[in-house]
Structure 1
Amino acid sequence: MDFGLNGKHVIVVGGTKGLGKAVCKLFAEEGANVAIVSRHQAACDAVAEELHNTYGVKTVGITCDMGDDHCGDILFEKALNAFDSLDVLVNNAGIWPQAYVVDMKEEDFRHTLNVNLVSPFILCRNFARYLLAQHRTGKIINVVSQAVFHGSTTGHAHYAASKGGLVTFTISLARELAPYGINVNAVAPGIMDTPMMHEILCQKREYYQSRIPLGREAQPEEVGYSVVFLASNKSDYLTGITIDATGGMLMR
Structure 2
Amino acid sequence: MTFTPWQDRSVIVTGGTRGIGHGIAELFARQGAAVLLTGRDAETARKVADHLAQVTGGRVSGIGMDVRQPEQIQEMAAEAERRHGGIDVLCANAGVFPERPLRELTAEDVDEVLGVNLRGSILSVRACLPALERAAGRGRVLLTSSITGPTTGYAGWSHYGASKAGQLGFLRGAALELAPHGITVNAVLPGNVRTEGLTDLGPDYLRRMTDCIPLGRIGETSDIAHAVLFLASDEASFITGQTLTIDGGQTLPESLDAFAARP
Alignment length, in residue pairs? 251
More off after superposition, 9-18 vs 55-64: 55-64
Greater Rg, structure 1 or structure 2? Answer: 2
Normalised to the residue count of structure 2, the TM-score between the two structures is 0.90
More off after superposition, 225-234 vs 185-194: 225-234
5+ residue gaps, structure 2: 254-263
5 Å matches for 1:210-221?
210-221=211-222
User: What secondary structure, in the 3-state scheme, does the structure 1 residue paired with 2:150 have?
Assistant: helix
Normalised to the residue count of structure 1, the TM-score between the two structures is 0.93
Match of 2:4 in 1: 3
Q: Is the 8 A contact 1:144 1:163 kept in 2?
A: yes
Match of 2:110 in 1: 109
User: What secondary structure, in the 3-state scheme, does the structure 2 residue paired with 1:10 have?
Assistant: strand
Task: Provide the alpha-carbon RMSD of the alignment.
Answer: 1.7
Match of 1:243 in 2: 244
Match of 2:61 in 1: 60
Q: Is the 8 A contact 1:148 1:163 kept in 2?
A: yes
5 Å matches for 1:188-227?
188-227=189-228
5 Å matches for 1:1-252?
2-132=3-133, 134=134, 136-137=136-137, 138-251=139-252
Q: 1:211: how far off?
A: 2.4
User: What secondary structure, in the 3-state scheme, does the structure 2 residue paired with 1:148 have?
Assistant: coil
5+ residue gaps, structure 1: none
Question: 1:114, 1:90 → 2: CA distance?
Answer: 17
- Alpha-carbon spacing, 1:28–1:250, altered in 2? closer, same or farther (3 Å): same
Question: 2:27, 2:39 → 1: CA distance?
Answer: 18
Q: Is the 8 A contact 2:66 2:73 kept in 1?
A: no
Q: Percent identity?
A: 31
Q: Is the 8 A contact 1:151 1:157 kept in 2?
A: no
Superposed CA offset, 1:143-191 (max 9, x none): 0000123343231000000010001111110111112110100000000
Q: 1:81: how far off?
A: 1.5
